[in-house]
Amino acid sequence: MKQVRLGKTDMYVKPVGLGCMGLSHASGTPTPKEEAIKILRAAYEMGYNFFDTAECYTGINPDGSISYNEEIVGEAIKPFRDKVILCTKFGVTHKGDHLELDSTPEKIRASIEGSLKKLQTDYIDIYYQHRIDPNVEPEVVAGVMKELIEEGKIKAWGISETTEEYLRRAHAVCPVTVIENRYSMMARWHETIFPACEELGVTYVAFSPMANGALSGAYKSKADFGNGDQDFRPNMPQYSEEGIKKTNEIVKFLEELAKKHNATTAQISLAWMIHKKDFIIPIPGSRKVERLQQNFNAGKIELSKEEIQMIDDKLDTMTFDVFGGH
């Protein structure tokens, strides 16, 4: 399987990366640690070599203790640390239903020490600013990243949910290797940043690439989740009564193409973005080994230019109300 270069670095990864968040955060009760470690090691055995986590991916275990996603990922990849590209993020704390943003240099310095410890490593391959902090200029954040690279604590850096202006300003101080923005067939508003990625040589890592699972067609109503208040999905607009109707329409449209390629609609949704631009890498997440395998195999599907165009033409006729939309 081909490997995709990250920005202008010497780091290469498989065309599909692994989102580790759901094992601890936003998908219901956290997966028990031992089981989560087995799942992540199985993913490595399948070929995944690009692991995505964050400082703020936490959840509450049934016994009241905290599940730290970084701890799980760190423990899981310990036997093959140097064979994978490890990404984590700073700058966000979950406070009830809102995010507290802090990208001050002092906070970043404290965060990286905590992340290195939890991840049981002495370097992070890609360190992301998780969200833009309106109180800190991009030049300041980029300046800290430059120092961390010089100190050997990180190899490269990225920005999540960035705007083009912020990216350009940050890039001028310390080259940005990747951005990690939301992107799926149902969330295409960031396509306007593609030319800047191309021009600057920045990789676009697509998070929530299956619209939080909606494009798999696996969920027919909110009742399909039902996993308590740690599951964010039932409140997402794509899973409202109206949202599910729209989702069904696009899933139905994809079914024929999926059949032709002996694939699932989830796989077609990933293959579509991989073929659209050679600098896009989706990072789907799942807590189920068979789904991880299915998602990874999307990197082997060949879609023609005409098929991509046919999908784009259909998407152009549709609007979606999807989580994270503006």
Ligand X SMILES: NC(=O)c1ccc[n+]([C@@H]2O[C@H](COP(=O)([O-])OP(=O)(O)OC[C@H]3O[C@@H](n4cnc5c(N)ncnc54)[C@H](OP(=O)(O)O)[C@@H]3O)[C@@H](O)[C@H]2O)c1
Q: How far apart are CA 126 and CA 11, in angstroms?
A: 10
Binds ligand X (CB under 6 A): choice among 46, 60, 140, 218: 218
Q: Is 39 helix (H, G, I), strand (E, B) or coil?
A: helix
Q: Which residue is nearest to ligand X (CB)?
A: 19
Binds ligand X (CB under 6 A): choice among 288, 309, 319, 321: 288
Cβ neighbors of 184 (< 8 A, separation 6 or more) are: 206, 208, 209, 210, 211, 215, 269, 273, 322
CB of 54 to ligand X, least distance (A): 7
CA distances from 210 to 19, 251, 303 (A): 12, 11, 17
- Measuring CA to CA, which residue among 239, 289, 301 is closest to residue 43? 289
Kindly indicate which of the ranges 95-103, 210-218, 255-263, 310-318 contains the residues binding ligand X, using the contact rule CB under 6 A: 210-218
- 31 is a site residue for ligand X (CB under 6 A): no
- 193 is a site residue for ligand X (CB under 6 A): no
- Tell me the Cα Rg of the chain: 19
Q: How far apart are CA 33 and CA 155, in angstroms?
A: 28
Q: Which is nearer to ligand X, 10 or 223 (CB)?
A: 223
- Measuring CA to CA, which residue among 111, 36, 102 is closest to residue 69? 36
For this structure, is 219 an active site residue? no
Match 């997440």 to its residue by tokens: 285
Q: How far apart are CA 221 and CA 90, in angstroms?
A: 34
Binds ligand X (CB under 6 A): choice among 295, 297, 301, 303: 295
Q: Which is nearer to ligand X, 109 or 287 (CB)?
A: 287
Neighbours of 13 (CB within 10 A): 24
- Residue 18 is inside which H or E element, if any? strand 18-19
- 180 is a site residue for ligand X (CB under 6 A): yes
Q: Which is nearer to ligand X, 10 or 183 (CB)?
A: 183
Q: Which is nearer to ligand X, 197 or 306 (CB)?
A: 197
Cβ neighbors of 64 (< 8 A, separation 6 or more) are: none
CB of 150 to ligand X, least distance (A): 25
Tell me the residue ranges of DSSP E strands in the chain: 4-5, 12-13, 18-19, 50-52, 58-60, 66-68, 85-90, 92-95, 98-101, 124-129, 154-160, 178-182, 203-207, 280-282
Binds ligand X (CB under 6 A): choice among 49, 121, 238, 286: 286
Q: Which two tokens stand for residue 175?
A: 């080259």
Q: Which is nearer to ligand X, 30 or 306 (CB)?
A: 30
- 220 is a site residue for ligand X (CB under 6 A): no
CA distances from 104 to 15, 94, 100, 191 (A): 33, 17, 12, 29
Kindly indicate which of the ranges 101-109, 192-200, 206-214, 306-314 contains the residues binding ligand X, using the contact rule CB under 6 A: 206-214
Neighbours of 54 (CB within 10 A): 24
CB of 31 to ligand X, least distance (A): 9
What is the footprint of ligand X within residues 242-271 (CB under 6 A)? 266
Choose, from 12, 44, 48, 57, the residue flagged as catalytic: 57
Q: Which is nearer to ligand X, 173 or 218 (CB)?
A: 218
- 160 is a site residue for ligand X (CB under 6 A): yes
Q: Which is nearer to ligand X, 151 or 229 (CB)?
A: 229
Match 């409140």 to its residue by tokens: 235
Binding residues with ligand X: total (CB under 6 A) = 29
- 177 is a site residue for ligand X (CB under 6 A): no
Binds ligand X (CB under 6 A): choice among 216, 238, 247, 297: 216
Q: Which two tokens stand for residue 304?
A: 């023609």
- 209 is a site residue for ligand X (CB under 6 A): yes
Active site residues: 57
Contact footprint for ligand X (CB under 6 A): 19-22, 27, 52, 130, 160-161, 180, 207-213, 216, 218, 266, 283-288, 291, 294-295
